[in-house]
């Protein structure tokens, strides 16, 4: 199988991440205004509930499967056997989850309010199983992943404009979102024969996967506490409108996170391969570059969107969502924290077989988030949920830094945080001076002009300070232009 360069994989995944940014920019302003906070809140609640059933069905395979398949990707028979074993485990667990889901639909009173939406959303349980996205990531099929994802997003956008016209169409929108992801998952399943043998191979060893899968599953459970429990608790303790406000803030934050983590996503299979083949120096070099990239992107992005949270919410969601502005300001710094922990946890601890350390870090964050949600949500609603998430992510980072202090000391000289911070401070001072002078009524024009100023100053300062990664990118762009 042809091995693509990390640069190619990054470009493909970056395009995918940009699509993740652009499509919400197209859909969310329309959907937010049509469905209103209540409709969006119902969808957010249903999606969060189903995410728990999906998480149980998948166990820890979405992450473990990447590592397990990447280690045997050059041997088709071993790869096929590994995929068969993991798929079988997934199918058994999905059956268990559907039974539990069916029971809950009759026993949980809150579920009756959104019964049809929950049933439609439950298709995600099976679709995630047959999608085997972990196999495609392990084989670094990022060109395929990107093209298919964009194709189905484009089709889904057309369906949204055709069929979603009133606030009562939130169930239709829920079905469209299922199609957007489900179409690609079905294609993934149909293309399996290209990479593995579909015939039974025998000599299956399910037991060897159980321990690591359960560790990764525990990580997923802990992570989901502060990824989805916020919305579920808001749905139970507050109103659908509060859930809608928080969801608007989280959607914006997730768009930014996807951009920041676009490099880290492509590294897991390559880093797992380096560890398996003993290439320690290549491993360390790639980790330092990944951390450098995260800081270079996440720091200015977080600062900018804190200052322009109001305009971002107005553009993406409309005036009905002004209750999302404060939650967005509070939760936006998690873009930096998640970017760093994505590298330290998923790109360092997991490939080196220390997923138990990741589990401990996210468990600490989950407990923190659960306790703070119980305290803050009744008092501060969506802002309280945002505060809990911010502190929880900080706890995760602190724990992982403690585990990796030796490695971080070895590579810290490769990460020039001082120059990045200096450029960010300069850009912040400039935009603070000019912010009140942007007298446009349209939030779109304010965001366009202010972003050109802020990020233009930031990039200029990076080049003036001769920040290594920025200079390298500039040389790469210049070279391409000359060609």
Q: 7: pLDDT confidence band, cut at 50, 70 and 90?
A: low
In whole angstroms, give the CA distance from residue 336 to residue 383.
19
Each residue of 266-277: pLDDT tens digit?
A: 555 555 555 556
In whole angstroms, give the CA distance from residue 471 to residue 465.
10
pLDDT of residue 274: 59
Each residue of 97-117: pLDDT tens digit?
A: 999 998 988 888 878 788 888
Each residue of 346-372: pLDDT tens digit?
A: 778 877 778 788 888 988 988 898 899
Whether 421 has a pLDDT exceeding 70, the answer reads yes
**Comparison of pLDDT for 284 and 130, the residue scoring more:** 130
Whether 264 has a pLDDT exceeding 60, the answer reads no
pLDDT of residue 419: 87
Kindly list the domain boundaries of the chain, sorted by start residue. Answer: 6-415, 416-483
Q: Across residues 381-395, what is the average pLDDT?
A: 91
Q: 375: pLDDT confidence band, cut at 50, 70 and 90?
A: very high
Helix, strand, coil tally for the chain in percent (to 5): 85, 0, 15
Long-range contacts of the stretch 3-6 (C-beta < 8 A, 24+): 3/140, 4/140, 4/142, 4/143, 6/266, 6/267, 6/270, 6/286
pLDDT of residue 4: 55
Whether 255 has a pLDDT exceeding 80, the answer reads no
Whether 135 has a pLDDT exceeding 80, the answer reads yes
In whole angstroms, give the CA distance from residue 407 to residue 467.
22
pLDDT of residue 173: 85
Highest mean pLDDT: which range of 63-67, 159-163, 246-250 = 159-163
Provide the percentage of residues in the chain whose pLDDT is more than 70.
87
Q: What count of Cα atoms within 13 Å lies in the side-chain half-sphere of residue 154? A: 7
**Comparison of pLDDT for 380 and 17, the residue scoring more:** 380
Give the closest residue to 122 by CA, choosing from 177, 62, 61.
Answer: 177
Torsion, Cα of 88, 93, 94, 97 (10° steps) = 170
**What value, to the nearest 5°, has the Cα angle with vertex 17 and ends 359 and 31?**
100
Q: Which of 21-30, 358-367, 386-395 has the lowest mean pLDDT?
A: 21-30
Exposed / middle / buried, residue 26 (Cβ in 10 Å: 0-12, 13-18, 19+)? middle
**Comparison of pLDDT for 222 and 423, the residue scoring more:** 423
In whole angstroms, give the CA distance from residue 357 to residue 404.
10
């Amino acid at each position: 199988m042809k091995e693509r360069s990390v640069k190619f994989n990054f470009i493909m995944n970056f395009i995918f991440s940009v699509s993740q940014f652009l499509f919400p920019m197209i859909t969310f302003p329309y959907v937010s205004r049509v469905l209103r906070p209540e409709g969006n809140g119902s969808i957010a609640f249903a999606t969060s509930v189903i995410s728990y059933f999906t998480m149980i069905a998948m166990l820890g395979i979405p992450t473990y499967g990447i590592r397990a398949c990447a280690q045997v990707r050059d041997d088709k028979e071993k790869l096929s056997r590994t995929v068969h074993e993991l798929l079988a485990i997934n199918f058994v667990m999905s059956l268990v989850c559907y039974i539990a889901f069916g029971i809950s639909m009759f026993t949980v009173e809150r579920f009756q309010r959104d019964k049809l939406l929950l049933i439609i959303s439950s298709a995600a349980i099976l679709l995630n199983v047959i999608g085997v996205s972990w196999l495609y990531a392990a084989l670094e099929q990022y060109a395929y992943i990107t093209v298919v994802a964009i194709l189905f997003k484009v089709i889904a956008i057309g369906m949204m404009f055709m069929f979603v016209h009133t606030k009562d169409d939130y169930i239709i929108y829920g079905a469209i979102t299922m199609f957007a992801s489900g179409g690609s998952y079905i294609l993934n399943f149909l293309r399996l024969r290209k990479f593995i043998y579909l015939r039974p191979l025998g000599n299956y060893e399910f037991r060897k996967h159980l321990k690591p899968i359960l560790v990764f599953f525990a990580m997923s459970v802990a992570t989901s506490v502060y990824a989805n429990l916020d919305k579920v608790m808001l749905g139970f303790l507050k109103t659908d409108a509060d859930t809608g406000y928080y969801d608007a803030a989280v959607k914006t934050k997730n768009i930014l996170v996807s951009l920041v983590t676009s490099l880290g996503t492509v590294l897991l299979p390559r880093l797992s391969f380096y560890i398996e083949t003993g290439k320690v120096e290549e491993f360390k070099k790639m980790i330092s570059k990944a951390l450098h990239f995260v800081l270079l992107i996440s720091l200015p992005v977080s600062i900018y969107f804190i200052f322009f949270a109001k305009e971002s919410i107005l553009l993406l969601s409309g005036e009905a969502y002004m209750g999302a502005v404060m939650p967005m300001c509070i939760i936006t710094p998690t873009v930096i924290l998640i970017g760093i922990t994505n590298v330290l946890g998923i790109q360092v601890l997991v490939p080196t077989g220390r997923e138990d350390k990741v589990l401990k870090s996210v468990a600490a964050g989950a407990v923190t988030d659960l306790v703070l949600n119980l305290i803050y949500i009744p008092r501060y609603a969506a802002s309280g949920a945002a505060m809990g998430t911010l502190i929880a992510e900080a706890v995760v980072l602190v724990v992982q830094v403690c585990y990796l202090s030796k490695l971080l000391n070895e590579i810290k000289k490769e990460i020039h945080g001082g120059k990045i911070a200096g450029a960010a401070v300069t850009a912040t001072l400039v935009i603070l001076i000019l912010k009140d002078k942007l007298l446009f009524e349209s939030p779109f024009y304010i965001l366009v002009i202010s972003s050109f100023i802020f990020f233009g100053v930031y990039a200029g300062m990076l080049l003036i300070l001769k920040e290594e990664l920025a200079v390298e990118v500039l040389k790469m762009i210049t070279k391409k232009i000359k060609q």
